[in-house]
Structure 1
Amino acid sequence: MSNYSARRRRFLISAVATGGALLAAPGLLRAQSYATRPVTIVVPNAAGGGNDLFARLIQPVLQQELGQPILVENRAGAAGNIGLAYARDADPDGHVLFCSSSGMMATAHTHQNVPGNPVDILEHITMLVIGNFTFTIPATLGPKNWQEFSALAKSKPGEFRHGTPGAGANIHLSAELLKLREGLDMQAIHYKGSPDIMTDLLSNQIQMANNAISTTASHIRAGSLVPLFTASQERETEIDGIPTSAELGIADVDRINNWYALHAPKGTPEEILTQVHAATIKALQRPEAVEKATAAGMKIVGDSRESFIARMQADDAIFASVAQATGIRVG
């Protein structure tokens, strides 16, 4: 065999071996991960909640992309503030992430003894999903649309009640904003969760509630609830024919939504935030993610860090405004 043939044979053998190694270890084709030990996503609510669902949804892809186990740790309590404080105090090295909800943006302005405003004490990676609130009333109340309900409520100041799943959070402030903008006098009744709200709404113990469409859709289809509007610029796709607050000329209520997002402790280096953002976007692009978001009445977002920061600042402003106008203080 000539020297050229021998060298060519050795080159081909080496190339095949190298290619096989890359196929066996696809992580070698990616940039080196910053993670040197398991990464924890802190969820400030109990297992089974919205941010828990979406933290676990991105978990397997983050694990694949970062090359370390991804743990979801539920640190519930104090309206999410226990988990928030833990994330605030964690080392800013990318090994602790935080899955928030828009409710925490509201409680930063309504609850006492909070760890701080999420806008200021965290780094912001991306919004995972977003959903709108649909305002409904019991069919037995009588009105068939927003105009009829508004007129009836205004004719009985202080007599009607609306339900919320927690004082001072986003759903509560969304309803308070509607009352401010439309001049409604209604008492807020606070419950432990949506199931209790639905029980009293369906029996006309309360006269209005605002929830995710996934909570109310079956009752709307059955005719036991009347949808007044969706607080949005765009119509709800789950059920046809529900007007938006924008169409009805109701100001600002479309600015309060339900979303879940991913953050890191303040001071986490930019290169780490960039890696986590890229891995998260990849996770959100899977068909499984879209299916689960849709089933929960949500839409995938996966925006840039800059866009998400701007959105947080806008939400912070509207929640601060409503909290100040109503004087709501909890705890």
Structure 2
Amino acid sequence: MTSRTPSFPRRACLALITASLGLLGATSTWAQLSPNKPLRIVSPYSAGSGVDMIARVYAKHLGEVLNLPTIVENRDGAGGMIGSAYVAKQPADGHTILVATTPFVVGPISQSNTSYDPLKDFVALGQLAVNPLAMTITSSLPIKSMTDLVAYAKAHPGKLTYASSGPGTPSQLEMEALKARLGMDIREIPYKSNAQALADTIGGTVDMYYTVQSTGLSNVQAGKLRALGVGALKRTTAMPDTPTIAEAANLPGYESLVWYGLVAPAGTPPAVVKTLSDAILKASSRPEAIEDIKKIGFEPMPTSPDAFAKIMAKEAEKATAALRAAKK
């Protein structure tokens, strides 16, 4: 008697193979990251800052996409350079990444005491969003508009003060540029943390803070701060009743935005970079993530690693040119 091996239907066999390959693909998509090690997103600014807010949104959505425990670690100080320098020295395994924003590039160019090169010591993973600056003032001042501000500053030169987050930060560079364009004499009061700068503006220790709209949004809504204008080309979803500075100060085409993205230490393997960048784009496309980003006053604007690298390089060129012009 001849024995026969039980036959397995050809279609069922093909279906099993296809399913197995699909499962393999799904499990290996993020295989370059260790499943037993958390993902750390370092915010080089204090809790409650714009950088911290966007970091927490992405910690939630990236963690879910990658199926990894993801935490935000705040290492603020020196206008974001302490946290940036810290990440530059971390293992290039993709498990410690940094939220990079404009000062990340500008700071090392405008100051000589930095320990990292933003373009050589890091690799771009992708831009996340942009955030316009908003001119916020303490509510006790008798100033209701940008026109009032310019008139008051010219009538009382040197009397008004503004908070900045330190040299090379948007709150300092953009405010100084705006002062020059509008002919205002307003004294700078530098702070080591965004949180303290914001608190002192609310309390009236300083008169104003030209910072990203997400930082002062909840306090404007609560009536603790007054927003005179935003540095966007059109009114924003977050502050629809606040005019643009272009219209409020008669500066056609004026725009002042801060970009936000993620970077990893230089030497991170290309496969890991791709894993993270793919996950960032996937997280950014989630309707819930888009809603969360807009809710805190940001405009989603995700890009590829190459596109974000070009944005940072362009920012470096702009800062270098501005520094040369200032020295002439």
- Is TM more than 0.5 here? yes
Distance 2:63 2:199 in 1: 40
Match of 2:109 in 1: 109
Secondary structure of residue in 2 paired with 1:115:
coil
Deviates more, 1:61-70 or 1:51-60: 61-70
Match of 1:294 in 2: 294
Give the counterpart letter for 2:42 in structure 1. V
Distance 1:213 1:95 in 2: 30
Identity %: 26
Match of 1:228 in 2: 228
For residues 1-331 of structure 1, the aligned pairs below 5 Å read 7=7, 9-15=8-14, 17-18=16-17, 21=20, 27-28=26-27, 31=29, 33-35=31-33, 38=37, 40-45=39-44, 48-49=47-48, 50-59=50-59, 62=62, 73-90=73-90, 92=92, 94-194=94-194, 196-202=196-202, 204-217=204-217, 220=220, 225-247=225-247, 248-250=249-251, 254-255=255-256, 257-320=257-320
C-alpha change, 1:244 and 1:112, in structure 2 (3 Å) is: same
Structure having the larger proportion of residues in helix? 1
Give the superposition deviation at 1:145.
2.0
Structure 2: where are the runs of 5+ without partners? none
Give the superposition deviation at 1:161.
0.8
Give the counterpart letter for 2:230 in structure 1. T
Distance 2:65 2:292 in 1: 21
Distance 2:323 2:178 in 1: 13
Distance 1:143 1:183 in 2: 17
Q: Is the 8 A contact 1:134 1:231 kept in 2?
A: yes
C-alpha change, 1:76 and 1:223, in structure 2 (3 Å) is: closer
C-alpha change, 1:139 and 1:65, in structure 2 (3 Å) is: closer
CA shift digits 1:19-41 (9 cap, x unpaired): 6656766625x657433564644
Distance 2:209 2:38 in 1: 38
Give the superposition deviation at 1:150.
0.9
Structure 1: where are the runs of 5+ without partners? none
Q: TM-score, normalised by structure 2?
A: 0.78
C-alpha change, 1:306 and 1:221, in structure 2 (3 Å) is: same
Secondary structure of residue in 2 paired with 1:185:
coil
C-alpha change, 1:306 and 1:23, in structure 2 (3 Å) is: closer
Give the superposition deviation at 1:188.
0.7
Q: Is the 8 A contact 2:51 2:99 kept in 1?
A: yes
Q: Is the 8 A contact 2:47 2:74 kept in 1?
A: no
Distance 2:15 2:239 in 1: 56
Deviates more, 1:49-58 or 1:101-110: 49-58
The count of residues paired between Structure 1 and Structure 2 equals 322
Q: Quote the RMSD (CA, aligned, Å).
A: 3.8
Q: TM-score, normalised by structure 1?
A: 0.77
